[in-house]
């Protein structure tokens, strides 16, 4: 194993970056409401306060790796589906930008120092067609958007490509989960059915595109 000072320094820097992220996740898990009924009770607060609080929560909790699915559903519970959709989309974008910026500022150098050949080739492929790569990654079912925000920040992809790709690939899912949360709050059957149908369709389409992409453009073989 390579014990060169540069690699040891890179590992330490990545550990320093990971510790506050893990601490933020632990704090969110410990102190945020876990019961949807608790979240719904907060909805009695003034709308302006709820909107500001939801955007702040997205901005702070997305970099702490709190699931966007939960945040979107909570936004729908608090604000309703229609009113919550633009708030959730703005919050998800701001939170993603914060995570991207943290990774770009503090993690890209160490990550490049530690990357093996396969990771380097994958990163280069993403950097060649960044918008398409991010759209596909965000649309793929089961793709953890919170981790993806950091992963893209470790590459040389430009911020505008990251934001555009995240919106194109991730907005439908964010909006669907927000609508689902709003439907649950209103006990509305058909909006919930429509949101679930959209999520199913997005999952099937994302899986098909991701599989086709992997088949059409496999990683190049090592020299």
pLDDT of residue 1: 42
| Phi–psi pair at 2, nearest 5 degrees | -75, 120
Lowest mean pLDDT, pick from 37-51, 54-68, 145-159: 37-51
Q: Look up residue 44 and give its DSSP letter.
A: G
- pLDDT category at 84 given cuts 50, 70, 90 is very high
**How many CB atoms are closer than 10 A to CB 128?**
9
Residue 176 has pLDDT above 80, yes or no: yes
More reliable by pLDDT, 208 or 103: 103
pLDDT of residue 223: 41
Average pLDDT over residues 46-52: 93
| Per-domain boundaries in the chain | 5-216
Across the chain, mean pLDDT equals 84
Are 69 and 145 spatial neighbours (Cβ–Cβ below 8 Å)? Answer: no
Estimate to the nearest angstrom the gap between the alpha carbon of 189 and the chain centroid. Answer: 28
Average pLDDT over residues 65-93: 93
| Structure tokens belonging to residue 35 | 């019961």
The CA-CA-CA angle for residues 179, 22, 49, to 5°, reads: 40
| Structure tokens belonging to residue 53 | 């609080």
Residue 212 has pLDDT above 70, yes or no: no
């Amino acid at each position: 194993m390579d014990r060169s000072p540069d690699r040891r320094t890179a590992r330490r820097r990545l550990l320093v970056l990971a510790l506050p992220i893990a601490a933020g996740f632990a704090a969110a898990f410990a102190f945020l409401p876990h019961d949807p009924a608790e979240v719904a009770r907060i909805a009695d607060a003034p709308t302006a306060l709820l909107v500001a609080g939801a955007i702040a929560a997205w901005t702070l909790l997305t970099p702490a790796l709190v699931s966007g699915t939960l945040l979107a559903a909570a936004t729908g519970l608090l604000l309703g589906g229609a009113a919550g959709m633009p708030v959730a989309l703005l919050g998800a974008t701001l939170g993603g930008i914060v995570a991207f910026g943290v990774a770009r500022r503090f993690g890209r150098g160490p990550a490049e120092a530690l990357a093996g050949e396969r990771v380097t080739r994958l990163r280069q492929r993403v950097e060649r067609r960044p918008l398409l790569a991010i759209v596909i990654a965000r649309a793929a079912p089961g793709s953890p958007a919170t981790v993806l925000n950091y992963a893209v920040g470790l590459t040389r992809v430009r911020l505008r490509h990251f934001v555009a790709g995240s919106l194109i690939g991730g907005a439908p899912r964010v909006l669907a989960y927000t609508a689902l949360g709003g439907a649950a709050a209103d006990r509305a059957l058909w909006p919930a059915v429509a949101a679930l149908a959209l999520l199913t369709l997005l999952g099937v389409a994302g899986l098909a595109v991701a599989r086709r992409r992997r088949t059409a453009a496999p990683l190049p073989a090592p020299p």
